[in-house]
Structure 1
């Protein structure tokens, strides 16, 4: 169902524009379960889509003064090393395993997003700067996860930039998009050579997603972030459980074969 998949690309862009994250968490299931691509192809494509789309979103936030370049480059440089390593490591595990890891990340992200949304409606934490080794460890972890399962990492990067780097929330969202762009594009480069990329589909999907992120960035001024995060966390739970269900045989639960596209 390529038409439905391309239509849902706008939803992915909206998520990035509104929340500063969530793009890849929507993109990979769309590419696998709606458009029928294999798991590894979908993860690689998702990184490219999220990388380019986030770059447009970061540019929009930069014009509003919400990108802290030093934090983006320092945090992003360390994260990119982890991303490339994670992308190379992904060649050693099956597509089904990647999807199960991906679903786990979705459920964890849902918990953090719901808790973060509740805090937003009460009081934001006081920004404070942590030591460089702690920041580097967090960046490596986010980067490795990005490369291994194709998650852009916005839900991890935004809290890290607030709590470890000491950025205000608005700057953390804008800076996060730049870090996501750098991470995702490096991760995509790590997949080139061992994954066949359908370039035409990738181009169309990306173009639609870019329109979505521009609309989402504009709409973010009019929508309650706490309400959005609570609703989106529920969506992540549904999608995470769905991916586990589709791959239940790989978990030894039986009841049907895992989808063939997940195995390669």
Structure 2
């Protein structure tokens, strides 16, 4: 019940911000419940498939999803995630612990820069027109999907900030639409990444169902509030969640 309650609260936050949340879930499972890092990676990533399904449905009903963009990036992301899961199995637990935390910290920094300083640094040359079709759309979707998928599979994170950054910068989606579309993208990434971890023997089904039950219920509830809270609050949540996960992993 403690795991269910904790992950329900996390699910609400993840549904609110459009995050898959594998990174913060990994941190909680390892630090609070003593789950080995590889097992936490596989279980949390696999659970994201169900969490994001719940959140994506809720966001779709709220009108926050670009289906074509999400399906295209997600399909190629699934390929990258499956490959990344096999790479993760070769990395020692101690190294993977720090690498996952480092990726979460990097994602927090990049998200902060994009949301609070959108016209400076690497974001100054972002596209100013929403990308919806054509050869440029597919070239961008293939590249973005493979990169974010590989990051997800290798480090067990949903790579939510990286996905949202690609949608905001490369596809120029509005903030709320990027949040909802991210949920759709994470689904195939989580399915194939989880499959890769399962084949490597790093997925616990009992823990998996506990994580799914808590997160899926919370994500559906949280997604209902994305359009209803101030944008300033949404930005703080999107920026701080990966940072909290990194901090827990570094201190654990």
Q: TM-score range by the shorter chain?
A: 0.7 to 0.9
CA shift in 2, pair 1:238/1:177, >3 Å: closer
- Tell me, yes or no, if the aligned pair for 2:31 and 2:248 is still in contact at 8 Å: no
Higher RCO (C-alpha 8 Å, min separation 6):
2
Structure 1: segments with no counterpart, 5+ residues: 247-264
Give distance in 2, aligned partners of 1:68 and 1:221. Answer: 16
- Structure 1 length-normalised TM: 0.82
Aligned length: 241
Q: Which has the larger radius of gyration?
A: 1
CA shift in 2, pair 1:214/1:175, >3 Å: same
Give distance in 2, aligned partners of 1:9 and 1:87. Answer: 23
1:189 to 181, 188, 195: 195
CA shift in 2, pair 1:30/1:242, >3 Å: closer
Q: Residues 135-154 of structure 1: CA distance to partner in whole angstroms, max 9, x if unpaired?
A: 42222110100000111122
2:41 to 31, 40, 43: 43
Pairwise CA distance, 1:64:
2.5
- Structure 2 length-normalised TM: 0.85
Pairwise CA distance, 1:65:
2.8
Pairwise CA distance, 1:24:
1.2
Give distance in 1, aligned partners of 2:169 and 2:129. Answer: 6
Partner of 1:26: 24
Structure 2: segments with no counterpart, 5+ residues: 119-125
State the SS of the aligned residue for 2:170. helix
Pairwise CA distance, 1:117:
3.7
Pairwise CA distance, 1:235:
5.5
RMSD (Å) for aligned C-alpha atoms: 2.4
Give distance in 1, aligned partners of 2:237 and 2:171. Answer: 28
